[in-house]
Amino acid sequence: MTLQNTSTISPELENNSPEELSNNINSCHSFIRENLTNAMDNIQNEDAKNRIQELIEAHNRFLITDMLGENNDPNTIFLLYEHLENAIKTIDEARGLISNDINTGEDTKPAEDSLKQALDCVGQENSLIKMYEENSGK
């Protein structure tokens, strides 16, 4: 599976400095965490809840401010790309499990909306990291 940009990135960001891009990446990373946490509050399916909890724990291990800038390490950025690929897979799996709950009469819309927003942020973060690498010459 390859990462796809599921959301649009403003073209003017392409000319931002690596520091500005790093700040935007950090914001996306925070929004992903926030949306996953919101989804957790609304998921009734235990399997989906466990998968999202594991994803949140993995997501929290990546501190963007420690990874970019002076500490920019291509190996760490590669691990972040792998994490984002896994995030897409895990979110899609959780969405599938949640959609099965429709048959039980559960209101799945809040969880589905939060997971969709998290997925959009994953696409944005991926695109911003690519821009960061291009603009920082790494």
- In-domain check, residue 7: no
Identify the weakest region by mean pLDDT among 2-6, 33-37, 39-43, 129-133.
2-6
Interval 28-53 mean pLDDT = 94
Mean pLDDT, range 38-54, rounded to an integer = 93
Whole-number pLDDT of residue 101:
67
Instruction: Give the structural domain span for 67.
Output: 15-136
* Residue 6 included in any domain: no
At 63 the pLDDT is: 80
Asked if 74 contacts 138 with a C-beta cutoff of 8 angstroms, the reply is yes
Residue 102's CB is within 10 A of a number of other CB atoms, namely 12
Q: What pLDDT, in 10s, does the model give residues 55-98?
A: 999 999 888 767 776 666 778 888 899 999 999 999 999 999 98
- Provide the number of structural domains found in the chain: 1
Please check whether residue 8 lies inside any domain of the structure.
no
What's this model's pTM, rounded to 2 decimal places? 0.83
Mean pLDDT for 39-67 is: 90
Count Cβ atoms within 10 A of the Cβ of residue 125 and give its class: 0-12 exposed, 13-18 middle, 19 or more buried: buried
92-117 pLDDT tens trace: 999 999 887 666 666 788 999 999 99
- Residue 45 inside a domain? The answer is yes
Alpha helical stretches, state H, 46-73? 46-60, 64-67
Q: Are 70 and 20 in contact (CB under 8 A)?
A: no
* Integer Cα distance of 35 and 113 in angstroms: 9
In a domain, 2, yes or no: no
Q: Is residue 79 domain-resident?
A: yes
Residue 76 has a pLDDT of: 82
Asked if residue 10 belongs to a domain, the reply is no
How many Å apart are CA 49 and CA 94, to the nearest integer?
A: 8
Classify residue 115: in a domain, yes or no.
Answer: yes
